[in-house]
Amino acid sequence: MNRTSASPVTHARIRRLPLHAAALLVFVLSVFPVYWMVLTAFKPTQDIQSQTPLFLPTSVTLDHFTKAVQADGFWLFWRNSLAVTASCVLLALIVALGAAFAVARLRWKGRRGFILMVFIAQVAPWEALLIPMYVIARDTDMLDKLSMLTLIYFMITLPFTIVTLRGFLTAIPVELEEAAQVDGCTRAAAFRRITLPLLAPGLLATSLFGFITAWNEFAFANMLIIKNQDDRTLPVWLSSFSNVFGTDWGATMAASTLFALPVLVLFLVLQGRVASGMTSGAVKG
């Protein structure tokens, strides 16, 4: 009896082995570059320059992080990236929330066409707009300005934000708002008190996407910030960081680790709330 019952389980595990092996391979290929970056940041210089690769450090040092933090402009470019990213995310959330509400809750002429254009804008390769954006920035005297960079990042993240928030709004029963209106709430008050709290996972998910996109973006920042080097962002500064220290790969990897740290921290803080179910939120409400 035990053999009969155990046989299907054993066969199922054997059939899953290729899937597990493929998943493990993808995980290793994805994580290893990050591991090597962090490992190099903590390695002593002699271990980095060793001809034999060392996959485990013989000792740990923080000297490379000290060099990265004390490099000229590190905190300035950190502040620039943070200001542009936060402004882009906030602006995209405000505009997309209104647009998503109009698409999900209202019926108006041209609604389907608007949704189609948003989807097209979402899948369009933004790199194709590098030259047009440069011409617009040049003709409007917006080159070397962080405000232009913020508007571009806002434009890049807006379609995804609208689509995502529309999906979350559609999942929230409109009857909840109607019941609040019957109890005396206005439509705006019903949305603010009932729907907006249930929309928190969508707001967090789109904020996380917008933050990662704007924080890591390099092409537009490198093209639009030409003369005023003090308005560079961290990705652009990091691309020329090796020129400052020559072959000091330890300091370069330390700077890269510090650059990736905010995204990692933000993801770890928000990932639990982003994954929370909409249904349980509606029941709690």
DSSP state letters, 78-121: HHHHHHHHHHHHHHHHHHHHHHHHHHHH---TTHHHHHHHHHHH
Instruction: Name the average pLDDT for the chain.
Output: 82
pLDDT at position 273 is: 63
Do 184 and 81 belong together in one domain?
yes
Look at the chain and report how many structural domains it folds into.
Answer: 2
Q: Which residue has the higher pLDDT, 129 or 277?
A: 129
14-34 CB burial, b ≥16 within 10 A, e <16 = eeeeeeeeeeeeeeeeeeeee
Do 142 and 28 belong together in one domain?
no
Q: What is the DSSP letter of 222?
A: H
d(CA 235, CA 219): 9
d(CA 252, CA 38): 11
Do 22 and 160 belong together in one domain?
no
Assign residue 33 a region (left: φ > 0; alpha: ψ between -120 and 50; beta: otherwise): alpha
Do 52 and 78 belong together in one domain?
no
pLDDT band at 1 (very low <50, low <70, confident <90, very high): very low
**Percentage, residues of the chain above pLDDT 70:** 89
With beta carbons less than 8 A apart as the criterion, state whether 248 and 66 touch. Answer: no
Look at 120-124, 206-210, 266-270 and tell me which has the smallest mean pLDDT: 266-270
pLDDT at position 85 is: 93
Do 57 and 68 belong together in one domain?
no
Do 32 and 150 belong together in one domain?
no
Q: Which residue has the higher pLDDT, 284 or 96?
A: 96
**pLDDT of residue 275 exceeding 70:** no
Mean pLDDT of 67-78: 85
**Local structure of 33: helix, strand or coil:** helix
Mean pLDDT of 230-256: 77
Which residue shows structure tokens 């940041």? Answer: 41
Do 142 and 233 belong together in one domain?
yes
Kindly report whether the global pTM for this prediction surpasses the value 0.95: no
pLDDT at position 272 is: 67
Assign residue 270 a region (left: φ > 0; alpha: ψ between -120 and 50; beta: otherwise): alpha
**pLDDT of residue 278 exceeding 70:** no
Q: Print the domain residue range for 53.
A: 2-61
Q: Which domain CATH number covers 130?
A: 1.10.3720.10
Do 51 and 91 belong together in one domain?
no
Look at 78-82, 124-128, 135-139, 247-251 and tell me which has the smallest mean pLDDT: 247-251
Do 85 and 43 belong together in one domain?
no
User: To the nearest 10°, the Cα dihedral for 43, 49, 52, 54?
Assistant: 10
pLDDT band at 86 (very low <50, low <70, confident <90, very high): very high
Q: What is the DSSP letter of 128?
A: G
Which residue shows structure tokens 């990705």? Answer: 235
Which residue shows structure tokens 């967090």? Answer: 204
Do 124 and 28 belong together in one domain?
no
Do 106 and 154 belong together in one domain?
yes
With beta carbons less than 8 A apart as the criterion, state whether 83 and 146 touch. Answer: yes
pLDDT at position 243 is: 53
Mean pLDDT of 100-107: 85
Using the 3D structure, point to which of 44, 61, 78 is the last residue of a domain. Answer: 61
Where helices occur in 106-173 by DSSP H, the ranges are 111-123, 130-139, 146-171
pLDDT at position 151 is: 92
Do 137 and 43 belong together in one domain?
no
pLDDT band at 44 (very low <50, low <70, confident <90, very high): confident
* Number of helical H runs and strand E runs in the chain: 16, 0
Give the model confidence (pLDDT) of 137-195 as tens digits: 888 888 888 899 999 999 999 988 898 888 888 888 888 888 888 888 887 888 888 88
